[in-house]
């Protein structure tokens, strides 16, 4: 066994072994470019391991083999992506997300839905976890028993690869989850680890008694307190194993480089099926250290960068999307070309709902002003809601500047969205309410949270407004499929045993066939919402100012109005203004005097005279092409 040594000796040796073994030229060029970085990361992560160099060499060999097997069409795509590295920042990008079984019955149903995806203009489709997982509750597939087998109820891996190719031909990139923080307790590695099979004992964090679990739990957070307290669960033999989420989702031990190697193998396997974006699940939790929260530790970043470097060698066209639903400072820390190129934007999502509840846009406005900027070559994924709960992840220090006290404000928002507060239009359900800490989160479909279910007059407008923001702030907008036709909550989950304990199922309804049938009928909420959103989607696609991420916050001097400019090339910009209040509001002419008075309403296709100010109806939003003086 040989430990890693800093400096270039290890790298030179691995590269020369690759050359003598006759590695392909393109792979060698990629390895020359990215191995030094991977090596450095390995030194930092695994410098003290006696087997460090062996592990690194075998990861590189894995990458080499994976490249050899990579289908020609995907290598062509790699080259295309490398020559247009900003492809995902285009104004034409539009994402959709759905559960394969709920939305389409299986992978073949997803293929049949491609014409509809084209009608919507999707360029990115995130299929929720579709791998083999335990029967009954599997956390919606987030407990993976095999990364190489599709859940037989949905289809096969061959079908997934074919679907990826069909989607690609339709201009849609396939996105799947890379659930690499944990596996299910039924995964082969898990079974072997518990049985003490040599080579697998250290794949997870297993302790003989409560001593270490107690020590860790002094500083860790409870994520699913309804399921089990703390971060550990007890095995049948009395030992304790780390399980951040459900008791059947066991956290992998990345301090062991064999775990990194094994997971890199699964990642490259998925890459070669034609997946174009990997959604990196639960990134904040992947490294643990005693005495810390065990969230977002520096090593979590190093690990992601190491996975990224492996990808650059063997499947360079792929992107990582970070799923970090944490403090906004931490969210951005995962975003860089070398780490995750795209990331959910949980702050904008949560603050859109915050603004609608309070009828006050200032926190959202402040976030757009100071927390929107990203490094070059990266992008936000902006969404109105996801398959998960809404957590109020704004920074207390930001809120304090506006005189808002974070703790009671979160309580208010939770009460508001579960319909407990006065003036609430929402029909949400509480998720993981923790009476000990007062913490809770909220679930519900967009239509139910926005007021359509409650019959509130502003419901449809709010759905449109929330989407109009997600579509216009920059990056990749992501639709939760079914929300574009105003699907409502599915309370039936409470009668389904595998779902009853997890209120997130309330907002994961089966494909709302009736709403889809109604989508051309302006007499229905589905029809009205669909036609208004379709118009916004069409305008977004043909508005180059919406590409990229550059955004200049525009102070409307009205608390209920969120406004910003998306600059374009030639002195033009798009001014987006949204009024979250239940009554009309306007931006006055003086405030607008820095803009040329002749403007164009992009949605209505009508000229606008800014000299008279801009009027916004209750929950109204406008996209205006303006000229900056």
Window 575 to 614, contacts with ligand GLC (CB under 6 A):
none
> How deeply is 6 buried, as exposed, middle or buried, from its count of CB atoms within 10 A (0-12, 13-18, 19+)?
exposed
Residue number with the smallest Cβ distance to ligand GLC? 142
Interface segment toward ligand GLC; rule CB under 6 A; list 138-146, 348-356, 409-417, 550-558: 138-146
Of 387 and 566, CB closest to ligand GLC: 387
Nearer to ligand GLC, 142 or 334 (CB): 142
In angstroms, the CA 528 to CA 521 distance is 7
Q: Name the minimum Å distance from CB 447 to ligand GLC.
A: 21
Quick one: 245 or 334, whose CB is closer to ligand GLC? 245
Does 267 contact ligand GLC by CB under 6 A?
no
Residue 139 near ligand GLC by CB under 6 A? yes
Among 160, 270, 275, 282, binds ligand GLC (CB under 6 A): 282
Of 204 and 245, the one with the shorter C-beta distance to ligand GLC is 245
Number of residues that bind ligand GLC (CB under 6 A): 10
Whether 334 contacts 342, CB under 8 Å: no
Q: Which is nearer to ligand GLC, 371 or 387 (CB)?
A: 387
> What are the phi and psi torsion angles at 222 (to 5°)?
-85, 125
Nearest residue to 52 (alpha-carbon basis) of 10, 19, 102: 10
Active-site position among 132, 227, 323, 460: 323
DSSP code at position 97: E
Q: Is 169 helix (H, G, I), strand (E, B) or coil?
A: helix
Shortest CB 388 distance to ligand GLC, Å: 5
Q: State the minimum distance, in angstroms, from the CB of residue 321 to ligand GLC.
A: 11
For residue 281, state whether it binds ligand GLC (rule: CB under 6 A): yes
Count helices and strands in the chain by DSSP H and E runs: 21, 25
Alpha-carbon dihedral angle through residues 198, 200, 201, 207, given to the nearest 10 degrees? -170
> CA separation (Å) from 2 to 56, 63, 203, 422?
11, 21, 21, 66
**Minimum distance, C-beta of residue 140 to ligand GLC, in the bound complex (Å):** 6
| Local structure of residue 372 (DSSP, 8 states) | -
**Which of residues 27, 99, 131, 142 is near ligand GLC by CB under 6 A?**
142
Distance, in Å, from the CA atom of 409 to the CA atom of 405, rounded to the nearest integer, reads 6
Active site residue 48: no
Q: How far is the CB of 312 from ligand GLC (least distance, A)?
A: 25
Specify whether 51 is catalytic: no
Lookup result for tokens 């969210």: 331
Minimum CB–partner distance for residue 328 and ligand GLC (Å): 17
Nearer to ligand GLC, 372 or 387 (CB): 387
Q: Which stretch binds ligand GLC (CB under 6 A): 137-145, 368-376, 610-618, 620-628?
A: 137-145
Tell me the closest approach of the beta carbon of residue 117 to ligand GLC, in angstroms.
22
366 to 425, contacts with ligand GLC by CB under 6 A? 387-388
- Token pair recorded at residue 165: 């190719």
- Residue 516 burial (10 A CB sphere; 0-12, 13-18, 19+): middle
One-character DSSP codes across 400-443: HHTT--HHHHHHHHHHHHTT-STT-----EEEEEETTTTEEEEE
Q: Considering the complex, what minimum distance in angstroms separates the CB of residue 439 from ligand GLC?
A: 16
Mask of contacts with ligand GLC, 226-265, x by CB under 6 A? -------------------x--------------------
CB atoms within 10 A of CB 387: 18
SS (H, E, C) 50-89: CCHHHHHHHHHHHHHHHHHHCCHHHHHHHHHHHHCCCHHH
- SS3 (DSSP) at 494: helix
If you compute the radius of gyration of the chain from its CA atoms, what whole number of angstroms results?
A: 25
Identity of the residue, 266 or 281, whose beta carbon is nearer to ligand GLC in the bound complex:
281
Positions 305 through 344 that interact with ligand GLC (CB under 6 A): 323
Query: Rounded to whole angstroms, how far apart are CA atoms 282 and 305?
Result: 15
Q: What are phi and psi of 178, to 5 degrees?
A: -110, 100
Active-site hit among 177, 281, 299, 518: 281
Q: Is the CB of 282 or the CB of 573 nearer to ligand GLC? A: 282
- Residue 179 lies near ligand GLC (rule: CB under 6 A): yes
d(CA 309, CA 315): 10
Shortest Å, Cβ 289 to ligand GLC: 20
Q: How far is the CB of 183 from ligand GLC (least distance, A)?
A: 10
**Distance of alpha carbon 601 from alpha carbon 591, whole angstroms:** 18
Residue closer to ligand GLC by CB (options 174, 179) is 179
Alpha-carbon distance 451 to 625, whole Å?
A: 30
Q: Taking contact as CB under 6 A, which single stretch among the options 135-143, 210-218, 287-295, 427-435 is the one that binds ligand GLC?
A: 135-143
Q: Contact 289/298 with Cβ under 8 angstroms?
A: no
The greatest distance separating any two alpha carbons of the chain, rounded to the nearest whole angstrom, comes to 77
By CB under 6 A, is residue 502 in contact with ligand GLC? no
Q: Of 324 and 470, which CB lies nearer to ligand GLC in the complex structure?
A: 324
User: What residues line the site for ligand GLC (CB under 6 A)?
Assistant: 139-140, 142, 179, 245, 281-282, 323, 387-388
The catalytic site residues sit at 281, 323
């Amino acid at each position: 066994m040989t430990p890693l040594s800093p400096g270039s000796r290890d790298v030179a040796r691995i590269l020369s072994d690759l050359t003598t073994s006759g590695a392909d030229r393109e792979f060698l060029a990629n390895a020359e470019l990215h191995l030094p970085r991977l090596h450095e990361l390995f030194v930092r992560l695994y410098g003290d391991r006696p087997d460090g160099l062996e592990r690194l060499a075998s990861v590189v060999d894995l990458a080499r083999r994976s490249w050899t097997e990579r289908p020609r069409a995907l290598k062509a795509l790699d080259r295309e992506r490398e020559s247009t590295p900003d492809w995902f920042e285009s104004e034409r990008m539009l994402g959709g997300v759905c559960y394969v079984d709920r939305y389409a019955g299986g992978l073949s149903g997803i293929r049949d839905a491609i014409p509809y995806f084209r009608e919507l203009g999707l360029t990115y489709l995130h299929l929720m976890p579709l791998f083999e997982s335990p029967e009954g509750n599997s956390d919606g597939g987030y407990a993976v028993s095999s990364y190489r087998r599709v859940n037989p109820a949905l289809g096969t891996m061959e079908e997934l690869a074919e679907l990826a190719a069909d989607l690609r031909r339709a201009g849609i990139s396939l996105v799947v989850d890379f659930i690499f923080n944990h596996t299910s307790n039924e995964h082969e590695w898990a079974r072997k680890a518990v049985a003490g099979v040599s080579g697998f004992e250290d794949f997870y964090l297993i302790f003989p008694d409560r001593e270490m679990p107690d020590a860790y739990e002094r500083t860790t957070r409870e994520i699913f307190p309804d399921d089990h307290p703390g971060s550990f669960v007890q095995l049948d033999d009395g030992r304790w194993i780390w399980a951040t989420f459900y008791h059947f989702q066991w956290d992998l031990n990345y301090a062991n480089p064999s775990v990194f190697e094994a997971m890199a193998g699964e990642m490259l396997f998925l890459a070669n099926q034609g997946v174009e974006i990997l959604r990196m699940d639960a990134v904040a939790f992947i490294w643990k250290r005693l005495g810390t929260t065990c969230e977002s530790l520096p090593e979590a970043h190093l690990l992601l960068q190491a996975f990224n470097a492996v990808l650059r060698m063997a499947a360079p066209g792929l992107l990582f999307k970070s799923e970090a639903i944490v403090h906004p400072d931490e969210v951005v820390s995962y975003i860089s070309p070398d780490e995750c190129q795209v990331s959910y934007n949980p702050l904008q999502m949560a603050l859109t709902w915050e603004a609608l509840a309070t009828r006050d846009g200032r926190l959202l406005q402040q976030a757009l002003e100071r927390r929107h900027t990203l490094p070059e070559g990266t992008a936000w994924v902006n969404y109105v809601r996801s398959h998960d709960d809404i957590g109020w992840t704004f920074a207390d220090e930001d809120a304090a500047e506006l005189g808002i006290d974070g703790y009671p404000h979160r309580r208010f928002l939770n009460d508001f969205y579960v319909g407990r507060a006065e003036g609430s239009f929402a029909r949400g359900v509480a998720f993981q309410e923790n009476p000990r800490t007062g913490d809770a989160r909220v679930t519900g479909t967009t239509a139910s949270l926005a007021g359509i279910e409650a019959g509130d007059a502003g419901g449809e407008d709010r759905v449109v407004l929330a989407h109009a923001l997600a579509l216009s702030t920059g990056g990749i907008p992501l639709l939760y499929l079914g929300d574009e036709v105003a699907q409502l909550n599915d309370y039936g989950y409470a009668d389904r045993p595998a779902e009853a304990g997890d209120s997130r199922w309330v907002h994961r309804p089966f494909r709302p066939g009736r709403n889809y049938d109604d989508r051309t009928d302006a007499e229905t909420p589905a029809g009205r919402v669909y036609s208004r959103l379709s118009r916004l989607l069409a305008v977004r696609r043909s508005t180059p100012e919406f590409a990229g991420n550059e955004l200049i916050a525009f102070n409307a001097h009205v608390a209920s109005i969120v406004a910003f400019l998306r600059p374009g090339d030639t002195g033009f910009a798009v001014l987006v203004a949204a009024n979250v209040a239940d009554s009309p509001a306007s931006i006055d002419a003086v405030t607008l005097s820095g803009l040329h008075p002749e403007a164009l309403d992009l949605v209505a296709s009508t000229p606008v005279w800014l000299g008279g100010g801009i009027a916004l109806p209750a929950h109204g939003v406008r996209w205006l092409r303006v000229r900056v003086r």
